Amino acid sequence: MEVLLTEQERMFQQQMRDFVEAEIAPYADEWDRRNELAYEAFQKMASIGLAGLTIPEEYGGQGGSMMDAFIASVEFARASISVASIFGTHTGLALSGMYHYGNEEQRRRFVVPAAKGEKLCAYGLTEHEASSDISRMSTTARREGDEWIINGAKCFISNGDTADTILLFATVDKQLGSKGITAFVVEKGMPGFSVGKVEDKLGIRAESAAELMFDDVHIPVANQIGEVGKGMRIALTILDEGRLDVSGQGVGVASAALDAAIAYSKQRQQFGQPISEFQGIQWMMVDMATAVDAAWLLGYRAAKLADSGVRFTKEVAQAKLFAANTAMDVTRKALQIHGGYGYMKDLPLERYYRDAKILEIYEGTSEVQKLVISRALLS
C-alpha cells in the first residue's frame, strides 16, 4: 500500500516505524501490566516532536498533515493501541480543538506548550448520561462577571488523570440542548477540579480512563474557546479527526496481528508440515489480509479528504467502522491461528485482542458510525 504514499510520507512512515520498534514496542507489555497511563510514552513522542505533529511550526508543532497523523496512529498501534490513544487524544482531539477554535492569545498560552510536549492534554466530552447523545450534557457553565463557574462531572476521559490541560464541554443552559454547549479550557490545579475514579479496563490498560469532577471551578472568560453555544459544532468537527486516528489504530493492531499469524503459521508444525500449508489457514489469512488492506484504503481516503479541506464526516465514519470491525476479526483469527499459545500472556496476541474491542466503542460506537453514514447517504 505504500506505493500510494508520497516519498515524504514514506520517509515519515519509516521514521515512525523505526521509532516505535526502538522506543515503544519493547515496553508495551510492561506498560499494559502496570495498568496506568504510560507517561513515558508521551515523553518519548514529545522528544521527537510528535506531541504537536499536526500543529503549525509557529505554534510549537511540526506542521504535519492529516495523512501524517493517520500514519503515526497506524505505526503506534502496531505496538500499542494505548500509546496510539494517548497520542490521538492529546494531538488529534484536545490540541487540535484548541488550535483550530482558539484565538491567538489562547494558541500562545495553551497550544504552544502542549505542542512542544511540555503539557499533556485531554478532551472532556463524555458523561454517564450523555455519551452517544451529547446534547443531554449536564455539566454546566454559569457566567459571573469575568469568570465561568463549572459544575458537573465527566467520565471515561482518556489522559484525564494525568492531563495538564482539558478541553472541556459544558452547557450554559440545559433547556437549550445542543445549542447551549460551549467549549472551555480547564487547567490542572484549578480549585474545585479533581480526578475521581480511574477505571480498571479490559484493554488499553496503558491509557487511562478517568472521571473528572468540577465543583464550582472558576475559570476566566479568557479560557472560553469559540462562541457561546457553538460547542456542539466544535466537538463534532474535532471528532472527525479523532475518528481518523481510531481508524489508524484499527489498521495498526490488525496489521500486527496478521504479521504475527503469518510468521507463526510458517513455524508451527502439525501432522508433519507447517500449518501454513493447510488451506483452511491460508484462506483465513487471505481474508485477514484483504480486510487490512481495505481498512487502510478507507483511512487513506479519509486522510486525503481531510488534507484537501473538504468535509469528510461520512468517509471517516466508514473508515472507523470498517477498521474497528477488521481489528476485532483479524485479532480473533490471529489468536486462533496461534492456538493455546495465543491465549497466553507470553505473546502479545491476547493484548491485541483485548485492546481491539475499544475501537468499536470510543470516538463514537460502531452503531453511531452507522447512524452518521446513513444520515449522509439519505440527506
Q: Annotated catalytic, 363?
A: yes
Judged on CB neighbours under 10 Å (0-12, 13-18, 19+), 319 is buried
Torsion angles phi and psi, residue 123, rounded to 5 = -125, 105
DSSP string, 216-275: EEEEEGGGEESSTT-HHHHHHHHHHHHHHHHHHHHHHHHHHHHHHHHHHHHH-EETTEEG
How far apart CA 312 and CA 325 sit, in angstroms, is 20
- Number of neighbours of residue 271 by Cβ within 10 angstroms: 7
Instruction: Count how many Cα atoms sit within 13 Å of the Cα of residue 127 in the half-sphere of its side chain.
Output: 19
Can you read off the three cell numbers belonging to residue 119? 503539557
Q: Which DSSP helix (H) or strand (E) runs through 30?
A: helix 28-34
How far apart CA 68 and CA 263 sit, in angstroms, is 28
How far apart CA 317 and CA 372 sit, in angstroms, is 7
How far apart CA 252 and CA 74 sit, in angstroms, is 4
Residues near 109 by beta carbon (within 8 Å), at least 6 away in sequence: none
Q: Are the beta carbons of 246 and 89 closer than 8 angstroms?
A: no
Can you read off the three cell numbers belonging to residue 277? 500449508
* Residue linked to cell 515519515: 12
Question: Residue 91's Cα: distance from chain center in Å?
Answer: 9
Active-site annotation, residues: 363
